[in-house]
Structure formats: structure tokens, C-alpha cells
Amino acid sequence: MDLFAHPYASFLAEVNKPGRYIGAEHGAIKKDWDSVEARVCLAFPDVYDIGMSHLGYRILYNLLNADSRILAERCYTPYVDMLAKLEERGLPIASLESVRALREFDMVGFSLQFELTYTNVLLMIDRGGIPLRAADRGEEDPLVVAGGPVATHAEAVAPFFDAILVGDGEEAAKEMVLSWMAGKKAGKTRRERLEDLAQLTGVYVPSLYGTEVDPDTGFHVVSRPTELDHQGRLPPFPIERRLVPDLNEYPFPDTFPVGGPEAIFDRMSIEVARGCTEGCRFCQAGMIYRPVRERDPKDVVDTVLRALEKSGQDEVSLTALSTADVSCISPLIKRLVEKTAPERVSLSVASLRAYGLAEELLDDMRKVRASGLTFAPEAGTQRMRDVINKNVTEEQLLQTAERVFSRGFDKMKLYFILGLPTETDEDVLGIAQVGQNALNVGRRVGKRPNVTVSVSVHVPKPHTPFQWCKMDDLEEVQRKQGMLRAALRGKKGITLRLHDSTTSELEGVLARGDRRIADVVESAYRSGAHFDSWDDHYKAQAWDDAFAEHGIERAPFLDTLPLSARLPWDHLDIGLEDGFLAREYKKALSSRLSPPCGKARGMFIHHTNTVDAAADERKLVCYDCGIACDLGRMRSERLRFLGEMGATDRAQRAVLPVLNTPPPTAPVAPPLDVTMPPAAAAPASPPPDVTMLDEPLDDEPLDDASIDDQLALAAEDPAGLAGAATPSPQKSPAAPTRARRPEFYRPPRPGSAPVRLRLAFEKTGPSALIGHLDLIRELPRVVRRAGVRTAYTEGFHPKPDMSFGPALALGLVSLDEYVDIKLIDPPPAAELIECLNRASSGGLRFHGAVWLGPNDPGIAKIINRADYLLGVPEAELGPDPEALLRKRLAAYEARPDVGVWRDVKGIKRLIDVRAGVTTLTLAGDEAVPSVRRAGVVGRLRWLAATVPISPSGAVRSREIVEALFERADVPHLGIRVALRGGEWSPLDLGRHQKVAAPSVLKQVVVDEGVAFESAPLEISPA
Ligand code: SF4
């Protein structure tokens, strides 16, 4: 869509990250609205940056669009600044791709990831033009559906949904939309279509089910329906969740829109497995996604390679609830690294554990760019960890800390949960003690260690063994948080992070709430509640008032629930056998562990080669949870996957994990106040069970992801690494060792030496709304998508080797931008530009290229001037626009100095516009071609300005308009027409060389038969 034809065009540049709303990314799917049978809007109840990282959403977007009968578009919650703009103008919330209001779709599907997004769901339904409650929707209104993990217990918002999909969406989403449309075509009423949907496995239609009061709790629980539907059927009861037994029937998508504002996890992520075997008793995902289903590793590798090619991304993340428990994770990583490391693709592995693979990877982790690692012991004492079924001892955790800090990491983040069932003050203080003990280990073996103790609040979630447990009330949580603050006050080297207790309590009520809570949610929304999970937007008073208005107490929903009670989510059968959760609950109360299932007893990690796997004939652990795993198939599938990855002999085991043994070092002094056995006497098994989480530490990129480099070493020198696997008596305890520079570990890149080029490009249309930082991320991706190899910088953080011209203000169109970039074996210039333009979208277009020689200064040293056209709407200028502009220009010229204030992060700076603008005049006809090329339409009067650019910056176009009109609110549109070095284009190399000498790189150009040698190639705009 042309940016200037976009319904939001007049105010897009006034909101933060306008690229969130325009759907102009590369890979966005735009189908013809009128040529499909069904139109689906995938709605994510949070901002673009969060929703774009969600994998389930990616799966459905591709899966639905793959069907020629269906169109699927995206919609995220507009952030508050955009919400205000839409409200001012009476505009509805609309999809990204076709900017259609939600009410125009046949189906709107919400992904429920978190209870605190409920008010955002209401906001999107309401402001999307759809009646809020299902009961109020008419025949033509869209079908409003919920899915995602929270859909397994969404009774608190059930009245707002026509249908709730429980379980996997791969098959069911399409079935639902097609059934809905078929019913419409057949002339069925809305009610009849809903009755048809209810017959699909996994689909809960709340309006077909009544509620009754449970005598034990007073909760309103869903009752068995007795009314026959239009075909004489009863709606199913309970509603069985939908399960895709074999994920490989639904290959993970290798494409998704890229090039918009940065998402929180801005990389190619792929789900390698669904489900988890660990059985942590507080973890809902570990219960509702059973059984573990692994994707074929060969497909994973193929998908990753295709996705990298299509997206141009250079970072891959393998994700699963517990990636280390994926049976072939070691050979899978090895295979991926072999394929991707030479091209400097970074690999991250989410939720690794510090045992098994992660433990061994840790040995060399410091050789890559991570400065810290994150672990999740969850509880502060052994008793508490036994209660929650976290199979880890403090000794094991501290051994891990020793390995972390002794390898030069200086930061460690530990995640804990406060308010777990049976928690005592001793358990609370245990959290502080674990943090302190980890720090002591760090001080003993590391340099300036820092430990972050991050503490969230336990919310007992439905469908877990803790679903009956009392949640600590606000006062108690705050008392315990106070204990932690006091225990760690003044402790240098420890940072305490506490989760907001108020929103946790609300989350607890919404999670265990019954249908009555829907009234509360609606009232809170109508009082302005939205973005409840965002600290700065949470409106406690709106919620307090809403609970009071409906006379509903929160306490009963947070109290201990009797095992005999019927619960508001009991009608949704997620596959667990009735007694399983209760058995686990009772085991928890007696601090009894349930070791991981699906593995041989005593095994904490899977065998990493077919020899060991085939030789192990022990039975796999199973607790008969009701899921009825096919353990025989599980075993044979694992063998097959290992075989596919070539992990067929024991040597494989050694190759990957231990990449390089540190040199022997002298033992260090024992810990100060840490009780732990000397490392040499440490038990060989079980290994530590702490979780490494793939997320940033203290706002610094964690880069545990960046095992690429060390793994690249494995690819480079596997034989040497295999030898390093033999444990060395001197190896532990290890003193800090000097980390080798990572480039030593990276495989050399094939191809010729990189050549330096200068590319000229324009940013028109939607790309004008991509900020400079996002452009820096996107441009190398364009180059990779074009099939051209970028050179990377050396050092701990290799980056594409490129430098840009001066940054462009957001919203400004530019016809003349530059980047100097190093490429490996690029094609001839004309072909290069053609390839780049094929890989670009959204108005990013390349139009010039020149090879640079050693005497050619970089772009930043050349550019010292920018030419702008500034368009002001005639409507702003009164009946005689030209006369007004001339009057303004004369007044501007007459003033000795013209200052405007610039706000730099809250600090005001006076900018002298007169001194910072060389010329400012009315533009004549010569501006017309540029205005046309920029795609600007409408009645505007244009001014031409020339602005000098110095190392300290330049006057901005907005400031020129403000200085001219002596007002900051005059709307205008800016076009950067040219960047120049003096009078000359940066492509005109002869004008900028310090020493006139023939460029070595000219030969490259000549060899490739390009006629212009070092002269610029200009391609006229389309
Ligand atoms: S059936 Fe057995 S192996 Fe499968 S998830 Fe349940 S307990 Fe684990």
C-alpha cells in the first residue's frame, strides 16, 4: 500500500514506532480480499514487538494463508499513543495488511498467552467494531475465537468469545473457519453455526453451556448441557482438547514478515519440540502440552536453512519448553553449526539446562560473547525444590556457579518463585542465601562477579498439581518481599529484582476465576484498564472499583480449594487422568520427587548417539498421567533422529559438548561460607538441574545464544575436540583463564577477500517509517536475501561490516541515502542492484553502486550537506499560500538569530536555526520531479532548504518549519532530496579522494566487465 494512501498517513509519523501499524514488511502476505471464501484476522492482545515473536502466531499465519480459500491478516494492540490518535479520529482498530476493521473479517482469533492481556482483548473487540459480548453479536458479525495456553482456563472471559479452541491449532483453526463459512453459505443461523463448531474436537462454545454453583467453593462451574442442537446432538462434555500427535505433519514455517520494527526476539526461531518431561509442579505448560512431540531434526535443519535464505536473518533460535531434553539436541546443534557458522549465523538455544549438553557447552561458553548466564533454580531450599519437583541440589547449583564464574563470566541471573505452596520464612531467606552463596563462589573463582536474584510471585495455575493451592495474599507477598530486601540490603554484587505483587494477585483471580469475573473484566476495561501487564499502565483503582461494583471478593479465588471441588476449568479435558494431578499434589505436600518421565530411570539427559541409545534397554519412566504416550515409538523415533543426524557412534558424544579444555590450573582456595564438596570429590551424577534461560541479563544481550562460535570450533576441528572430552584431574576446580579471542574459534569464510562498496538507495513509502536502527538491522538482511554475502567485523560481537550516512528522522522520505558495505564475491554492479531491489520491499530501493578503493574515504567523512524539500499543506497557509510563505521567509530573514528548543532525553537545547541552515527559499518547478519520485500527492507548498552536516549534527527539518512559522505544531512533510560532499555526490569518488591514485578495486570492477569502472552507476527511478 502506498504510504500516502494509508488511512493513518496523516498521523503515522506522530506515533512511536509507526512501522508497527503499516504491514509493509518483507514477507507480509496480502491476498485479494474479494477472491477468497474466508477472511481471518489473527489478533494478538499486545503490541507488535511482542506479538511478532510468538511462534504459534507464525504457524497459523502461514498455515491459513497456504489455503487459497482463506486470507489471514495480523492485528496487534495499538500502543496507547496510537489508540489516542484512532479515538480522536473515530477510526477502528484494523488489520495490518489491508487496514480493515476487525468487524469486517469472518473470524477474529485471539491468542491468549497471559491473563493480564484480557482487557486488551476487550479493547480490540470493542474498538475493532464488534459487539463486546458473544450474546450481543448478530448474524453478520465475525466469529470471535480464543486459543493459546490460557484458553485452557479462560472462563473469566468466556462470555466475550463465540468459541474457545483448547489445544493445538494446526488442524482446528482451518476446520473452524471453513465450518463457519460453510454454515453461512448454507443459510444457517449464527446459533446453528456455533452448534456445528461445538462438534469439532477441542472447540468449546461457552454459550451452549450453562453454569451451576459448586457447593464446596461457591464457584460457578460449567454444567453438562441437556439441550439438543439443531441436528439433535448434545454438545460434548467434557470438551476434549485438540492434539496434533505428530508435529511433522505440520512443518514449521520457513517464512514470516521481516523488516518492521524490532521484535523482542528478533531472530529466526523454530520450535524443535512441544511438551516437556520434567514435571515441574507449578508449570502449566509442562502439563497442558503433553506428550512430548519432537520435530524431525532433519526437517528442522532444512527449515532453518530455507528460513535464513528467505528472511536474510543471521540469528537462529531453537526453542522448546526444555531444549536440553530434546532427544537429539546435541547432534542437531552440531549439524546446524556446520551448515551456518561459516556464514556467521548466530545460534541460540532457549531453556537449556546446566546439566548434560548445557553443562558441557558451559566449558567453553566464555569463548563466545556472553558475559552472563541465567538459571532457574526456582526455590531457595532443598525442601522447597522437592515440593515443586525441581530435581536440583544447592551443591549442584553451586558447582554450576563455579563453572560459570571460573570461565570468566561475570554475571549470573537466578530466577526464583516466591509464595510456593508450603513456603516458610526459612525458604524465603534461602533464596537470598542461594544468591549470596553463588556470589561467594564467583568471588572465589571469578573476577567482579554479579548475581541478579529475580523473584516472581507464584500464581497457582489451573491444570497443574498446584491448582488447589492457596496463593499468598498481597500482604504476605509484600512481607516476604520485605524479608528478601532486608536480607540482601547493602550486599555488594547482588541485585534483587522483585515482581509486582499487585498484578500477580489479579493474575491469580483471572486464572482461577469463573464466569462471574467477566463482569469485573468488562467494568475494569470500561474504566480505562488495558495493558495491565505493563507496570506504567496498570490501573489498580479501575480493578478495585470493578470488583466492588459487582460485589465479588478476590479472596475465595486465591484460597486453598478442596480436592473434592468442581473447578471452573474442569469441563475442559486436557488429557490428564483425573487422579494424576491430585497424586502429584499429595507428593508435593510430602516433599516427594517425581523424576522426569519418558527417560530411563536415573537418566537426566538423553543418549547422544545411537550406540548408547540402542544398548540401553531400561524401561522408560512413566506415571500413567493419562496422556498414554507410546513409549516404544518414542524410543524408536529417538534412535531414528540420532541416526538422521549422523550421531551413530560414541565419539559423537565427545565432539560437541567439550570444545576446548582450558589449560590445567592450580587449585584455588576453598569457598568462604559455601558448603560444597571439593569439585574433585563431587558426585558424578546426577548432574545439576538448573535451567538456562535464553533472555537478556540486566539489559545486556545475554548471548548464551551465541554458542555459534564455540560450536563453530567443533565444526572446524572435531578431532581435536573429541580428545578434549576426556576429563582431566586438573581441570576442576578451575581458576579463571584468559578467554581466547573468539575469531580464533570461527571457521574461515570461504570466498575471496571482501570488497568495499558504496550503495545509494532511497526510502520512500512505508520504509520512511522505519527508524534508523531498524534500517541498520534490515539492510544486511536485504543483502543476504539477495543472495550476496556480507563481510563481518571481528571481535566478540561480529556485525555486518557497514557504515551509514547521517541518520534520517522518522517519517522523512529520502531519495538519496548511502551505505558503505563490505561484500564477499558480489555480482557485477547492475546485477547487484537488481538483486537487492528484488529482495527489498516497502519503498526501500537501491539506485546506485560504486566499488571503493583504499584511497576512498568512508561515507561519514564525505557527507557535509543535505538538501531538503519541506512541504506544508496549503490548508495551513490561508487563502494565499505563496504570499504567506514569502511573508514568513522575509520575517525569518529579518531576525538576527532564530532559535528553537530541542528536547534531548528531557534536556532542552537551544538550536540556532539561522546558523544551521545555509539557504531557505520557496521551491519552484524544479522540485516537481523529486516530489513525484517521493510519491507525495496532495496540495502542498514546498520550501527548499540546504543544511550543513557536521560531526556534531545538523538542524532538523521539523526545526526549520518551527523556526519559520514560530510554532511547533505546523504539519509538514519532508523529503531529503540529496546528501552531498560539498557539491558532489558521494558516488562521485574522484571528487572525494584524498590522494588521486588508481583504486585496486577498480580492477575488480573491470574484471567483471562493468563499464563504469569507479564511476557511479545511476539507475533512474521507476
Ligand atoms: S504418559 Fe507417562 S511418559 Fe507420557 S507424559 Fe504421561 S507420565 Fe510422561
Q: CB count, 10 Å around CB of 560? A: 11
The average pLDDT across 674-688 equals: 31
| CA nearest neighbour of 693 among 307, 488, 416, 335 | 416
Q: Does the beta carbon of 628 lie inside 6 Å of ligand 1? A: yes
d(CA 135, CA 485): 49
Q: Does the beta carbon of 279 lie inside 6 Å of ligand 1? A: no
Q: Does pLDDT of 656 surpass 70?
A: no
Q: Does the beta carbon of 627 lie inside 6 Å of ligand 1? A: yes
Could you give the 3-state DSSP secondary structure of residue 869? strand
For the segment 193-250, what is each residue's pLDDT rounded down to a tens digit?
999 999 999 999 999 999 999 999 999 999 999 999 999 999 999 999 999 999 999 9
Q: Does the beta carbon of 888 lie inside 6 Å of ligand 1? A: no
User: Would you put residue 664 in left (φ > 0), alpha (ψ -120 to 50) or beta?
Assistant: beta
* Residue among 622, 635, 638 whose CB has most ligand 1 atoms within 8 A, to mutate: 622
pLDDT at 260: 84
* Residue among 625, 631, 634 whose CB has most ligand 1 atoms within 8 A, to mutate: 625
Q: Does the beta carbon of 598 lie inside 6 Å of ligand 1? A: yes
* Residue among 597, 624, 631, 635 whose CB has most ligand 1 atoms within 8 A, to mutate: 597
Q: Does the beta carbon of 597 lie inside 6 Å of ligand 1? A: yes
CA of 600 to the centre of ligand 1 (A): 12
CA of 392 to the centre of ligand 1 (A): 21
CB burial of residue 444 (10 Å; 0-12, 13-18, 19+): buried
CA of 822 to the centre of ligand 1 (A): 53
CA of 870 to the centre of ligand 1 (A): 67
Show Cβ contacts of residue 689 under 8 Å, excluding neighbours closer than 6 positions.
Answer: 353, 354, 355, 390, 391, 392, 396, 604
Q: Does the beta carbon of 529 lie inside 6 Å of ligand 1? A: no
| CA nearest neighbour of 627 among 292, 246, 171, 202 | 292
Name the pLDDT band for 677 (thresholds 50, 70, 90).
very low
Name the pLDDT band for 4 (thresholds 50, 70, 90).
low
| CA nearest neighbour of 919 among 958, 892, 881 | 892
pLDDT at 556: 96
Q: Does pLDDT of 701 surpass 70?
A: no
d(CA 108, CA 883): 52
Could you give the 3-state DSSP secondary structure of residue 373? strand
d(CA 716, CA 718): 6
pLDDT at 796: 62
Name the pLDDT band for 766 (thresholds 50, 70, 90).
confident
- From start to end of 154-240, where are the E strands? 163-165, 203-204, 211-213, 220-222, 239-240
Cβ–Cβ < 8 Å for 235, 209:
yes
CA of 174 to the centre of ligand 1 (A): 29
Q: Does the beta carbon of 290 lie inside 6 Å of ligand 1? A: yes
For the segment 266-314, what is each residue's pLDDT rounded down to a tens digit?
888 999 999 998 899 999 999 999 999 999 999 999 999 999 999 999 8
Q: Does the beta carbon of 622 lie inside 6 Å of ligand 1? A: yes
- Counting DSSP H helices and E strands in the chain, the numbers are 32, 33
The average pLDDT across 872-876 equals: 89
* Torsion over CA: 652, 655, 657, 661 (sign): positive
Q: What angle do CA 807, 812, 818 make, to 5 degrees?
A: 40
pLDDT at 746: 57
Nearest residue by C-alpha to atom 2 in ligand 1: 622
For the segment 944-990, what is each residue's pLDDT rounded down to a tens digit?
999 999 888 899 989 999 999 999 888 888 999 999 998 899 998 88
* Residue among 276, 581, 629 whose CB has most ligand 1 atoms within 8 A, to mutate: 629
Cβ–Cβ < 8 Å for 714, 649:
no
d(CA 287, CA 735): 41
Show Cβ contacts of residue 291 under 8 Å, excluding neighbours closer than 6 positions.
Answer: 275, 598, 627, 629
Cβ–Cβ < 8 Å for 771, 810:
yes
| CA nearest neighbour of 705 among 201, 333, 209 | 333
DSSP string, 320-344: -TTGGGSTTHHHHHHHHHHHHGGGT
% of residues, the chain, pLDDT over 70? 85
d(CA 434, CA 411): 15
Q: Does the beta carbon of 580 lie inside 6 Å of ligand 1? A: no
CA of 596 to the centre of ligand 1 (A): 9
Nearest residue by C-alpha to atom 5 in ligand 1: 291
For the segment 382-430, what is each residue's pLDDT rounded down to a tens digit?
999 999 998 778 887 888 888 778 877 788 889 999 999 999 999 999 9
Q: Does pLDDT of 549 surpass 60?
A: yes
The phi and psi torsions of 246 (rounded to 5 degrees) equal: -125, 105
pLDDT at 401: 84
pLDDT at 363: 52
CA of 622 to the centre of ligand 1 (A): 5
The average pLDDT across 853-861 equals: 90
Q: Reduce the secondary structure of 244-270 to three states and give it as a string.
A: CCCHHHCCCCCCCCECCCCCCCCCEEE
Q: Does the beta carbon of 575 lie inside 6 Å of ligand 1? A: no
**Residue in the structure block whose three cell numbers are 532559535:** 899
| DSSP single-letter state for residue 428 | H
Nearest residue by C-alpha to atom 6 in ligand 1: 625
pLDDT at 891: 94
CA of 799 to the centre of ligand 1 (A): 44
Atom of ligand 1 nearest to the CA of 620: 3
User: Would you put residue 745 in left (φ > 0), alpha (ψ -120 to 50) or beta?
Assistant: alpha
Name the pLDDT band for 353 (thresholds 50, 70, 90).
low
CA of 984 to the centre of ligand 1 (A): 71
Show Cβ contacts of residue 276 under 8 Å, excluding neighbours closer than 6 positions.
Answer: 283, 285, 286, 289, 290, 292, 320, 321, 322, 325
Helix axes 517-526, 118-127, angle to 10 degrees: 60
Average pLDDT along the chain: 84
* Torsion over CA: 640, 644, 648, 654 (sign): negative
Name the pLDDT band for 748 (thresholds 50, 70, 90).
low
Q: CB count, 10 Å around CB of 754? A: 18
Cβ–Cβ < 8 Å for 160, 121:
yes
CA of 397 to the centre of ligand 1 (A): 27
CA of 416 to the centre of ligand 1 (A): 26
Cβ–Cβ < 8 Å for 421, 588:
yes
CA of 623 to the centre of ligand 1 (A): 6
CA of 627 to the centre of ligand 1 (A): 6
Atom of ligand 1 nearest to the CA of 622: 2
Of the listed ranges 12-16, 44-48, 498-502, the one predicted with least confidence: 12-16
Q: Does the beta carbon of 465 lie inside 6 Å of ligand 1? A: no
Atom of ligand 1 nearest to the CA of 598: 3
All 3 cell numbers of residue 266? 528478533
Q: Does the beta carbon of 721 lie inside 6 Å of ligand 1? A: no
Atom of ligand 1 nearest to the CA of 597: 8
Q: Reduce the secondary structure of 484-530 to three states and give it as a string.
A: HHHHHCCCCCEEEEECCHHHHHHHHHHHHCCCCHHHHHHHHHHCCCC
Atom of ligand 1 nearest to the CA of 625: 6
CA of 293 to the centre of ligand 1 (A): 12
| DSSP single-letter state for residue 767 | G
For the segment 709-719, what is each residue's pLDDT rounded down to a tens digit?
333 323 333 22
Q: Does the beta carbon of 587 lie inside 6 Å of ligand 1? A: no
CA of 488 to the centre of ligand 1 (A): 41
CA of 420 to the centre of ligand 1 (A): 24
Nearest residue by C-alpha to atom 8 in ligand 1: 597
Atom of ligand 1 nearest to the CA of 634: 3
| DSSP single-letter state for residue 761 | E
* Residue among 277, 627, 630, 633 whose CB has most ligand 1 atoms within 8 A, to mutate: 627
Cβ–Cβ < 8 Å for 361, 390:
no
Q: Does the beta carbon of 623 lie inside 6 Å of ligand 1? A: yes
- Give the rounded distance of the alpha carbon of 700 from its chain centre: 16
DSSP string, 893-908: HHSS--EEEEEETTEE
The average pLDDT across 150-178 equals: 97
Name the pLDDT band for 997 (thresholds 50, 70, 90).
very low
Beta strands at 691-692 and 813-824: parallel, antiparallel or unpaired: unpaired
Q: What's the number of CA atoms in the CB half-sphere (13 Å) around residue 8? A: 33
The average pLDDT across 327-342 equals: 85
Q: Which helix (H) or strand (E) holds 821?
A: strand 813-824
Cβ–Cβ < 8 Å for 98, 202:
no
**Measured between alpha carbons, how far is residue 507 from residues 18, 114, 147, 220, 471 in Å?**
30, 8, 18, 19, 11
d(CA 1011, CA 704): 48
